[in-house]
Amino acid sequence: MMSCRFAALAFDASDPHRLAAFWAAVLDRDLDTQSDADVVTVLPRGRHDFPIDFAPTMAPRQGPNRTHFDLTSASPDDQHAIVERALSLGAGHLDIGQGPDAEHVVLADPDGNEFCVIPPGNHFLSNTAPIGALSGDGTQAVGYFWAAALNWPLVWDQDEETAIQAPDGGTKFTWGGPPVKPKQGKNRLHFDIVPTDGASQDSAVERLITLGARRIDIGQGDVPWVVMADPDENEFCVLAPR
């Protein structure tokens, strides 16, 4: 079955070099110092990791992100160490109404992007990766769309909450179901995907359209990738086959 491969997670950043350095240090990964001067990449470390690209933007944040990281921890001491490392690198505590009894710690990176450090023993995130989940605000339909687009199995589908995961494991992509908050401007995080199985970029785009995506114009101009929106209007890019 023709599908696409998840190639990278892309961040819009006010200062790509600073934000990339922050996440490289938090995740204990290396930076791609040979990459384009405007785009900085945090390289994968393990086989279940994915590249994270940081590109410059002048657009201000418009409310909370639709997607955030859930970072895993191996022990209470490890959770504390991850939090303290993030704080020392420029993160800050964030109150999103989680309450004083919450066991997870909610933080914001230097650009204000929300993320959580999850305590050990979380069954749902066991045997995943340091980024246990890309946790999203989204509908059941968008979970079904991405399961089909990437040919990843649904590992959770209950009460309109969905989650998918690559067949060989790694980070789970999750969507929390309704109510889904209205979208506020362009997302600061988006998926980059690339066709597999010898498919062309055009044929991959046509298949994604049949699954519920659409082409969009965000002012990208003449670029070698195709900008699309999924059924929840989240932007993503289809890269040319490599």
pLDDT computed for residue 36 by the predictor: 60
The dihedrals phi and psi of 94, each to the nearest 5 degrees, come to -135, 130
**Sheet containing strand 67-71, strands side by side:** 92-93, 105-108, 114-117, 67-71, 131-136, 172-175, 161-165, 154-158
Kindly report the backbone phi and psi dihedral angles of residue 122, in degrees, each rounded to the nearest multiple of 5, phi listed first: -75, 110
**How far separated are the first and last CA of the chain, in Å rounded?**
19
Strand, coil or helix: 173: strand
Q: What is the pLDDT of residue 2?
A: 76
Q: What is the CATH number of domain 4-175?
A: 3.10.180.10
Residue 1 has what pLDDT?
A: 64
| pTM, full prediction | 0.95
Burial, 122: exposed, middle or buried (Cβ in 10 Å; 0-12, 13-18, 19+)?
middle
Contact 40, 31 (CB under 8 A): yes
Query: Up-side HSE of residue 104: CA atoms within 13 Å toward CB?
Result: 20
Q: What is the pLDDT of residue 35?
A: 59
Q: Are 237 and 190 in contact (CB under 8 A)?
A: yes
pLDDT at residue number 186: 94
Token digits of residue 32? 């791609």
Tens digit of each residue's pLDDT, the chain (242 residues): 678 999 999 999 999 999 999 999 999 999 997 656 789 999 999 999 999 999 999 988 888 999 999 999 999 999 999 999 999 999 999 999 998 889 999 999 999 999 999 999 999 999 999 999 999 999 999 999 999 999 999 999 999 999 999 999 999 999 999 999 899 899 999 999 999 989 999 999 999 999 999 999 999 999 999 999 999 999 999 999 97
User: Can you give the residue ranges of every domain in the chain?
Assistant: 4-175
Angstrom distance (rounded) from CA 206 to CA 191: 18
| pLDDT score recorded for residue 46 | 92
